[in-house]
Amino acid sequence: MLRQVDELMPIGEFSERSGLSPKRLRSYAAGGLLVPAAVDSVSGYRYYSPGQLRDAQLIDALREAGMPLADIRALLRDPSNEQLDAWARRVEIDAAQRHKALDLARQMLAIGTTSFPAVDNDRSRKESTMTKLRTVSRTDIGRVRDNNEDAVVSSDHLAAVADGMGGHPGGEVASAVAIALLQAAFTGRSLDELQAAVRAANRAIWDRAGGSAELEGMGTTICAAGLIENGSLVVVNVGDSRAYVLHNGLLTQLTHDHSVTAEAVRRGEMSEQEALDHPHHSVLTRALGVAADVELDSAAHLAVEGDRLLICTDGLVNEVSSDEIASLMAVTEDIQATADGLVELALSRGGRDNVSVVVAEICA
Ligand SMILES: [Mn+2]
């Protein structure tokens, strides 16, 4: 009988037998999906076992189905038909949302880039018993820029900003598409729904950017806070737009910026001030519209009645410190006055970028 150790295959042989390229096998190994069964401690050569052939082909089939690596990892821990059914349902929901997104994109193309159809997403929230958001928003072109590439949405369950990039008209289109899709696809049901809405927005922007020379390279940040049916406050962000909560006079940032300098600050390689002054301060590590899929930061928080939220673009935080934001939010009773005060302060400091804020209060 052949001993297991004799059946071990080097990557070349495993590649031939599985039909997967060595490059792909190495990426699955790096991603923790298919780790070689053995490694030679002297030469460093990797070896696979025959038992891994089925896993390799399963992983590849799931990749072909468009399943993200993180989901494949979860499925491999508990491979079952139920898991596949759950994935199939997500694909269906995703496809439905994508169709909705494409319909909306079609309407937008018909209308032009400056005006967008109002969306009625026929929500069925039980109005009397649920917490709601009281929201106001303000967006300003600032003192230097020629156009406003920021977009905002504020409703009784959604507060979001998007900061477009890619020049005129791309930046404006990207942020407007993101906000319109969010408004269309997020009804206040769940964090999953908000994530799916942001993913749909990413794909809509990505698809549209690829189909037009004028829009090529467009992208946008997104920072969205939503109130959902179980009473939680859910937050999803990509890029360097931010969400803050003011609770008992204390301001807490709920999001991490996805920029090269913010990541350097988190690694302890740079101070906040050095980051602000750094020439790469505006270089993002993640944005909507730059790839077919996007990694989201998501979190659910307790929605506390009376707490105030601020969702804003970098045009505010590059001009106004978080201490100043906290004091202004704490002293202004009226949320419209808060929004106006924050924008005016950014403008008085130079208004070097578009500046947008949504201020919200959590109400019974
Ligand atoms: Mn900006």
E strand or H helix at 220: strand 219-220
Residue 270 belongs to domain spanning: 132-363
| Shared domain check, 322 and 234 | yes
Taking the centre of ligand 1 as the mean of its atom positions, its distance from the CA of residue 156, in whole angstroms, is 25
Ligand 1 centroid–CA 305 distance in Å is: 30
User: Helices (H) and strands (E) in the chain — how many of each?
Assistant: 13, 14
Of the residues 51, 79, 107, the one at which a domain ends: 79
Say yes or no to pLDDT of 236 above 60: yes
- pTM of the predicted model as reported, rounded to 2 decimal places: 0.68
If you measure from the C-alpha of residue 356 to the centroid of ligand 1, how many angstroms do you get, rounded to a whole number? 9
DSSP for 130-182, written as a single string = S-EEEEEEEEE-TTT-SS--EEEEE-SSEEEEEEEESSTTHHHHHHHHHHHHH
Domain count, the chain: 2
| pLDDT tens for each residue of 253-279 | 999 999 999 999 999 999 988 998 898
Q: How far is the CA of 238 from the centre of ligand 1 (A)?
A: 13
| Shared domain check, 139 and 70 | no
Q: Are residues 47 and 141 in the same domain?
A: no
Same domain, 349 and 233: yes
Q: In angstroms, what is the C-alpha Rg of the chain?
A: 24
Contact (CB, 8 A) for 349 and 303: no
Residue 261 CA to residue 270 CA, distance in Å, equals: 8
Residues 159-181 have pLDDT tens digits of 999 999 988 889 999 999 999 99
What does the pLDDT read at residue 108? 67
- Beta-sheet pairing, 219-220 with 9-10: unpaired
For the segment 43-82, what is each residue's pLDDT rounded down to a tens digit? Answer: 778 889 998 998 898 888 888 877 777 788 888 888 888 8
| Ligand 1 centroid, distance to 353 Cα (angstroms) | 6
Interval between CA 354 and ligand 1 midpoint (Å): 6
Which residues, listed in sequence order, are joined to residue 211 by a DSSP beta bridge?
none
In a domain, 322, yes or no: yes
- For residue 171, give the CATH number of its domain: 3.60.40.10
